[in-house]
Amino acid sequence: MRSSRLTFVGAAVAALALASVSACSSSGGGSGSDGSSSSDGGSSAEQVEITLLTDDAESTLPQVDAVIAAFEAKYPNITVKATTRPGGSDGDNLVKTKLATGEMEDVFWYNSGSLLAALDPANTLVPLDGTDAIANTNESFFPSVTVDGKIYGAPWGDAMGGGILYNKEVYADLGLEIPKTWDEFAANNEVIKAAGITPVLGSFADTWTTQLFVLGDFCNVAAAEPDWATKYTANQVNYADDPVALRGFEKTAAPYENGWLNSDAGSMTFDQAMAALAAGDAAQYPQLTFPVGSLSAEDGAKIGFFGIPGDDAAKACGTIWMPSGQYIPAASEHIAEAEQFVAFVASPEGVAAMYEAVPPTGPSLVNGVTTPDSAYPVVDDIKAYIDGNNSAALEFLSPIKGPSLEQITTAVEGGQTSAADGAAQYDADVVKQAKQLGLEGW
State the pLDDT at residue 1: 41
Class of the CATH-defined domain 20-158+323-370: alpha beta
The bridge status of strand 390-392 relative to strand 318-321 is parallel
Report the CATH number of the 160-321+383-436 domain.
3.40.190.10
Give the Cα separation of 311 and 243 in Å (integer): 12
Extents of the domains making up the chain: 20-158+323-370, 160-321+383-436
Angstrom CA distances, 244 to 91, 225, 229, 332, 422, stand at 31, 9, 13, 45, 15
Residue pair 87/11 in contact by the 8 Å Cβ criterion: yes
- pLDDT for 80-94, tens place per residue? 999 999 988 899 999
User: Model's pTM, two decimal places?
Assistant: 0.75
Asked if the domains at 20-158+323-370 and 160-321+383-436 fall in one CATH topology, the answer is yes
415: left (phi over 0), alpha (psi -120 to 50) or beta: left
Give the Cα separation of 340 and 233 in Å (integer): 35
Parts of the chain with a pLDDT under 50: 1-43
Neighbouring C-beta atoms of residue 272, cutoff 10 Å = 17
State the pLDDT at residue 44: 52
- pLDDT for 289-341, tens place per residue? 989 988 999 999 999 999 999 999 999 999 999 999 999 999 999 999 999 99
State the pLDDT at residue 36: 42
